[in-house]
Chain A
Amino acid sequence: MNTFAAVLMVALLPCICINRKALKQEAGSELLYEMKGALELLQRVSAHADASCWYVAWSPAGTLLASCGGDRAIRIWGKEGDSWECKSVLADGHQRTVRKVAWSPCGKYLASASFDATTCIWKKTNDDFEFLTVLEGHENEVKCVTWAPSGNLLATCSRDKSVWIWEVDEEDEYECVSVVNSHTQDVKHVVWHPTQELLASASYDNKVCIYKEEDDDWGCRATLEGHESTVWSLAFDPEGQRLASCSDDRTVKIWKESTPGDGSTDESWKCVCNLSGFHGRTVYDVAWCRLTGALATACGDDGVRVFREDPTADPEQPVFFMSAHVPKAHGQDINCVSWNPKEAGLRATCSDNGEFAIWKYNSDS
């Protein structure tokens, strides 16, 4: 007798993503917006053998790509002719998976965050990277490291639920200036505002926190609630007026800061857009292109997607729709997506299969 016929399907089956190619304007208008774009694969590179590639980051000049992974190494890639080649391997910095890497705004330093609870700082000398120092203090895995646009501040976050803010001086000395414990769970990601000294963090506790310094004290000034599961990543828009968050709840939410007109200093962030129904599984990363304003996502259903904003929508109620979608961009989960800061449309993604891929996005196909 086949007892398997009576299987109880509790597992959440991913919905098949539908590529929405057009958005009709409100009734009466004859315009049909077709913001269809195209994603072209330029190159696929096997970067971290037999291990996940967890993150990729472009250098500020856009000429180098740093990748890091489960093999505990960081690799720096540069273009030679038409292909991306490995320029450096930074292999001895960490004892466990390197989860994220971040370039300093000047491009001379690289920071790496690892499950070994440390953050390493590497200095670029000529064509190679030298180990400079290690930042210790977190009790367990460091999940993210990020440089402030000023170059003087660094933030890290960890499964120990805290966010640490570090200051760096002209002599390359790093000092922790603040430890903030606003989350009740594992903090997955931290990101700085593009122009202000403002930090945002995303957590396993389903919330996003916004931090500012007031009276020499860093603290959480706003908490963004709305996601129904872990928030994995964050990205500010080019002007820094909006924040995109992506989550295990398969949605991407856009938040906007609203200062009430009554003169009070209470800031609140409201969710002004909710992108749901596009992603079949956890959305691990979101990236907002500084040059074009396009929003890219990395998903556990192996697909890459690009969203564009409808230019005619009310800024207080933005409308985004999917402009491009490659369903099986990698053979496994996509962990990261990153727009090149100098070349419009150039994009990198990386996956659990150890690969990264370089793409070209054209907004008009």
Chain B
Amino acid sequence: MSGGTRLENANPLIFQRSGERRLTATDEDEDLHCYFDISINDPEHPLSLEELNVVEQMRVNVNDQESMVSVEFTPTIPHCSMATLIGLSIKVKLLRSLPDRFKIDVHITPGTHASEDAVNKQLADKERVAAALENSQLLEVVNQCLSSRAM
């Protein structure tokens, strides 16, 4: 996390941001599709995660009846050491935005990361997440990741 180390992914592929997304609800039979305005900054790159293709919008699934949200994200490069931090930031964003009744699952798109099982297990462990967020330094980094950017 220090600024002095060489960036792992110096030339990221940049994808077109798919336009402004607002929180909308379409009344469908079973599922409630919410479009989250997830603008999270990759700690190493001053661009939104979506522009870096880290979080793909289509992988957010919301089931309002079951009070479940599932987010699948693809880290920028397979060996990215920031995968846990990115996943944690997504989880925190959802925890802060959603009603308490929601169960939140955040995990890495299968096959896109060398340590996906280990990262997924950490993200699923709410005790670890709660303890991590009591670490003021880590919380500060997460908050920086989540700070809204006018782009």
Fill in one digit per residue for B121-151: 1 if any A CB lies within 8 Å of its CB, else 0: 1001111101100100000000000000000
Using a Cβ–Cβ cut-off of 8 Å, how many residues does chain A contribute to the interface with B? 36
Indicate if B61 sits at the interface (CB-CB under 8 A): yes
Known: A3-B58, A331-B101. A10 touches B107 (CB 8 A): yes
Q: Are A11 and B61 in contact (CB-based, < 8 A)?
A: yes
Indicate if A146 sits at the interface (CB-CB under 8 A): no
Bound Cα distance from A229 to B109, whole angstroms: 19
Known: A9-B61, A9-B70. A4 touches B131 (CB 8 A): no
| A-facing residues in B77-118 (Cβ within 8 Å) | 100-101, 103, 105, 107, 109-110
Bound Cα distance from A6 to B60, whole angstroms: 11
Contact partners of A4 in chain B: CB under 8 A: 33, 58
- Of the candidates B68, B103, B130, the one whose C-beta lies within 8 Å of that of A52 is B130
Bound Cα distance from A147 to B134, whole angstroms: 27
Fill in one digit per residue for A227-252: 1 if any B CB lies within 8 Å of its CB, else 0: 00110000000000000000010000
- Of the candidates A70, A204, A331, the one whose C-beta lies within 8 Å of that of B130 is A70
Chain A: interface secondary structure? loop
Contact partners of B61 in chain A: CB under 8 A: 7, 9, 11
Using a Cβ–Cβ cut-off of 8 Å, how many residues does chain B contribute to the interface with A? 27
Q: Are B121 and A229 in contact (CB-based, < 8 A)?
A: yes
With both chains docked as a complex, state the minimum distance between the C-beta of B56 and any C-beta of chain A, in angstroms. Answer: 9
Contact partners of A204 in chain B: CB under 8 A: 121, 125
With both chains docked as a complex, state the minimum distance between the C-beta of A301 and any C-beta of chain B, in angstroms. Answer: 8
Q: Are B70 and A11 in contact (CB-based, < 8 A)?
A: yes
| B-facing residues in A322-365 (Cβ within 8 Å) | 331-333, 352-353
Q: Are B134 and A115 in contact (CB-based, < 8 A)?
A: yes
Known: A97-B130, A141-B131. A11 touches B105 (CB 8 A): yes
Contact partners of B68 in chain A: CB under 8 A: 11, 13-14
Contact partners of B103 in chain A: CB under 8 A: 14, 281, 300-301
Contact partners of B126 in chain A: CB under 8 A: 300, 333, 352
- State the B residues within 8 Å of A (CB): 33, 57-61, 63, 66, 68, 70, 72, 100-101, 103, 105, 107, 109-110, 121, 124-128, 130-131, 134
Report the 5 A-B pairs with minimum CB-CB distance, sorted nearest first: A11-B70, A11-B105, A115-B131, A96-B134, A141-B131
Q: What are 23 A-B pairs with beta-carbon distances under 8 A?
A: A3-B57, A3-B58, A4-B58, A6-B58, A7-B59, A7-B60, A10-B70, A13-B66, A13-B68, A14-B103, A52-B130, A97-B134, A99-B127, A115-B130, A143-B127, A159-B128, A186-B128, A204-B121, A248-B124, A282-B124, A331-B100, A352-B100, A352-B126
